[in-house]
């Protein structure tokens, strides 16, 4: 069970997260990736960096910042070098900015993970929406970045996955019930629970490891549309001039193919 503080605090710029040390156990990685429909063997002895999206959110919860009802909008994820299973990593973090928008507040945070020598292994900068449920006019959530992928039908398709409520519940962790409770999702304005941002990113990183097993990369991850727990999705890639991937997307399948999550890839160094 997730350890939660006795009293929640309101997010404000300059707030420092409590220092902590974490590690990802092989059994945890195997279990959570299996819930996604991914064979953990593709990562070998390395940790899927997508896990650090959720771990960073839980670092905030442990420090007193509630994640309940929050919606991931933009996630920066930089892998300075591959993290290893069972490797102790020190967690540091702070809130960089809090801004009012018509739908509530946009919260910008920076969380990073250092090894025992003090070297950064993973950096995770995040912008999320903390909705104000008392606001009748849903309005917007602030400036919306331009799409990374202009034409999703032009992507080369790789793996496909079928989500189910059982799978999403098995993956979801405590802290934000819009990912595993129907009532909470409806109260937040969604027809059904939606997968967490990190769960969707696993589908992208799994393909990166199958093709590149990278030594380092940097990605800007955009959560464009909610992906619900009863949808089918596929992974599409966009290749650059040297056949290295420049962008990827989790595509929502239906009458029209739509981007659920997309990433712009930079500094990808194959292993």
Query: In 10 A of CB 41, how many CB atoms?
Result: 9
Mean pLDDT within 65-85: 90
Q: In angstroms, rounded to a whole number, what is the distance separating the alpha carbons of residues 49 and 46?
A: 9
Residue 134 has pLDDT above 80, yes or no: no
- Identify the pLDDT of residue 253: 86
- Identify the pLDDT of residue 1: 45
Q: What is the mean pLDDT of the chain?
A: 90
- Identify the pLDDT of residue 171: 94
What CATH architecture is 20-269? Answer: Roll (3.10)
For 35-78, the three-class secondary structure string (H helix, E strand, C coil) is: HHCCCHHHHCCECCCCHHHHHHHHHHHHCCCCCCCCEEEEEEEE
**Banded model confidence at residue 233, pLDDT cuts 50, 70, 90:** very high
Tell me the per-residue pLDDT of 178-205, one tens digit each, with 9 for 90 and over: 999 999 999 888 999 999 889 999 999 9
pLDDT higher for 70 or 242? 70
- Identify the pLDDT of residue 228: 97
pLDDT higher for 253 or 2? 253
Q: Enter the tokens of residue 175.
A: 């802290």
Query: In 10 A of CB 170, how many CB atoms?
Result: 14
Tell me the per-residue pLDDT of 9-42, one tens digit each, with 9 for 90 and over: 999 999 999 999 999 999 999 999 999 999 999 9
71-79: strand order across its sheet: 20-22, 89-101, 104-114, 120-131, 71-79, 216-223, 258-269, 245-252, 232-239, 156-162
pLDDT higher for 212 or 4? 212
Mean pLDDT within 217-225: 95
Domain ranges (residues) in the chain? 20-269
């Amino acid at each position: 069970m997730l350890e939660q503080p006795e009293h929640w605090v309101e997010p404000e710029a300059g707030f420092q997260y409590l220092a902590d040390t974490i590690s990802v156990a092989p059994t945890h990685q195997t279990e959570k990736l299996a819930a996604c429909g991914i064979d953990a063997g593709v990562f070998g002895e390395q940790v899927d960096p997508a896990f650090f999206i959720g771990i960073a959110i839980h670092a905030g919860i442990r420090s007193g910042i509630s994640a309940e009802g929050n919606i991931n909008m933009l996630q920066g994820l930089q892998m300075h070098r591959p993290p290893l299973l069972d490797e102790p990593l020190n967690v540091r973090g702070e809130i960089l900015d809090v801004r009012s928008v018509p739908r509530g507040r946009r919260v910008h945070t920076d969380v990073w993970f250092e090894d025992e020598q003090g070297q950064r292994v993973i950096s995770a900068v995040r912008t999320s929406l903390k909705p104000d449920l008392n606001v009748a006019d849903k309005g917007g959530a602030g400036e919306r970045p331009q799409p990374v992928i202009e034409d999703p039908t032009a992507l080369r398709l790789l793996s496909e996955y079928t989500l189910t409520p059982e799978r999403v519940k098995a993956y979801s962790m405590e802290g934000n019930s819009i990912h595993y409770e129907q009532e909470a999702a409806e109260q937040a304005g969604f027809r059904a629970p939606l997968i967490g941002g990190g769960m969707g990113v696993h589908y992208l990183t799994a393909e990166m490891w199958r093709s590149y097993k990278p030594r380092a990369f940097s990605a800007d991850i955009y959560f464009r549309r909610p992906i619900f727990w009863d949808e089918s999705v596929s992974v599409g890639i966009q290749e650059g001039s040297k056949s290295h991937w420049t962008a990827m997307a989790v595509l929502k399948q239906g009458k029209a193919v739509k981007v659920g999550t997309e990433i712009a890839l930079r500094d990808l160094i194959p292993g």
